[in-house]
Amino acid sequence: MRTELEEAYGFLFEKELIEEIAKSGTLKTVTAGDTIIEIGDYLTGMPLLLKGAIKILREDNDGDELLLYFIERGDTCAMTLSCCLGQTKSEIRAVAETDTSFIMIPIAKMEEWTVKYKTWRNFVFESYHTRLSEMLDTIDTIAFLNMDERLMKYLQDKVKVNGNENIHSTHQEIAYDLHTSRVVVSRLLKKLENEGKISLKRNHITVIDL
Amino acid sequence: MRTELEEAYGFLFEKELIEEIAKSGTLKTVTAGDTIIEIGDYLTGMPLLLKGAIKILREDNDGDELLLYFIERGDTCAMTLSCCLGQTKSEIRAVAETDTSFIMIPIAKMEEWTVKYKTWRNFVFESYHTRLSEMLDTIDTIAFLNMDERLMKYLQDKVKVNGNENIHSTHQEIAYDLHTSRVVVSRLLKKLENEGKISLKRNHITVIDL
DNA sequence: AGATCTCTGTAACACTTGTTACTGTGGGCA
DNA sequence: TGCCCACAGTAACAAGTGTTACAGAGATCT
């Protein structure tokens, strides 16, 4: 854990803070597909991502889902942060996109470090900033783009966070993330394939050139 | 200014902090319709709303607009906050919804107070929290609701921030905020009128019961 | 191999939203 | 008063997306 912590956050935090994090935090490891946070959960801490990627989902009253964004190494979930500080329930679901490891920081420490370490304070503010930007980006996407463009963006993001042009998803899974129907996804994927941008196989999409 | 400051923030901040705010901040007054922040602006400070309401808009590359949310008394714009701290350009436009007055806080003070006053720190975090919630709400709205439901929500919000059931807007203005076309708005408004929920006059909508 | 199940492809249709075009109307102004 | 202009109402159509239904293809299990 110590090595990974240094690797992902060493350039951000001073030695003593890394030390404190290592001491107070608990290492968690989850495998792809695991639900890390469920909507309505009370959060006991805030996660610092060491390895892997997490996808953050929103759900409406009818159980319809929508992918908000991905979180990667070096990120924390400001939504979580926000929930911790406000002692409110989580408004989002977090699911491991890949095999993932992260450190859980107890709430109490967060406040303490905010006063004690400037680097931590900056990190927290920076996290809020990137999270707000990410949310703006999400809004742009759903407000200004058509479904075919959203799908392309989705595939690009998938390739990026997985570090692999091969996407192992069914059309139905993609449909959930984009909050549309399987048929629509199949239709648009087929179009992309005909344009030579991707290649389709069962349970498996290969991105060629988007 | 002092009185209004006490009124809006007295229950949040201690005497000394209010004092400091009054000393360092500059009072600004704008009239309905004025643009306060333009996309791409570098921000020199962060606004604390005293009176009135501000609407926050997003714009895409084609110049298409979308209303994100309203800010009211006691709020600050976390987006601004975020920009200030990150020293980045504004990603949003802020337009006075009503006649509005606010205090501009210089960036330097923000950092200082963050360390010095717990109440200020909490306020900043709280602002981020409410802003993230607001953004989530916006995402829910555009992702999960149909245009007729979005329109109803919009009218309700308008009534709330203006404190008046009479809305002085043209259909075109509403269409801009909702990122749709004038014809669509007219169509849906007419439907709402037929359902007895609103009454329509030229340049003027009265909300009866939504 | 055959049975079964999940995933994908496709057609046909419905619904919502956006577009174009035209009409009428209310209000201000010469 | 009459003209003009911005605003609102409406129809007809286009485009995008969602829904239903069904067929076939690929994987898995016995």
- Report the predicted TM-score, pTM, of the whole model to 2 decimal places: 0.93
Which nucleotide, over all strands, has the C1' atom closest to the CA of B145? C16
Strand, coil or helix: what is B133? Answer: helix
CATH number of B2-143: 2.60.120.10
**Which positions ≥6 away from B149 have C-beta within 8 Å?**
none
Q: For B37-75, write each residue's pLDDT tens digit.
A: 999 988 888 899 999 999 999 998 888 999 999 999 878
CB B91 within 8 A of CB B79: yes
Which position has the token pair 């290592």? A22
Distance from CA of B82 to the nearest CA of A (A): 5
| Chain D bases having any atom below 7 Å from a protein CB | 6-12, 16-21, 26-27
Residues 6+ apart with CB under 8 A from B42: B87, B89, B90
Contacts of B84 in chain A (CB under 8 A): none
Residue pLDDT, tens place only, A12-51 = 999 999 999 999 999 999 999 999 999 999 888 889 999 9
> What CATH number does the domain located at A146-207 have?
1.10.10.10
Tell me, yes or no, if B129 comes closer than 8 A to chain A by beta carbon. yes
Strand D interface, protein residues by Cβ within 7 Å = A 146-148, 179-181, 183-184, 202; B 170-172, 183, 186-187, 189-190, 193, 200, 202-204
Q: Per-domain residue ranges for chain A?
A: 2-143, 146-207
Question: Confidence band (pLDDT; 50, 70, 90) for A189?
Answer: very high
Which residue in chain A is spatially nearest to B147 when comparing CA positions? A143
pLDDT of B210 strictly over 90:
no
Contact status, residue B17 vs residue B112, Cβ threshold 8 Å:
no
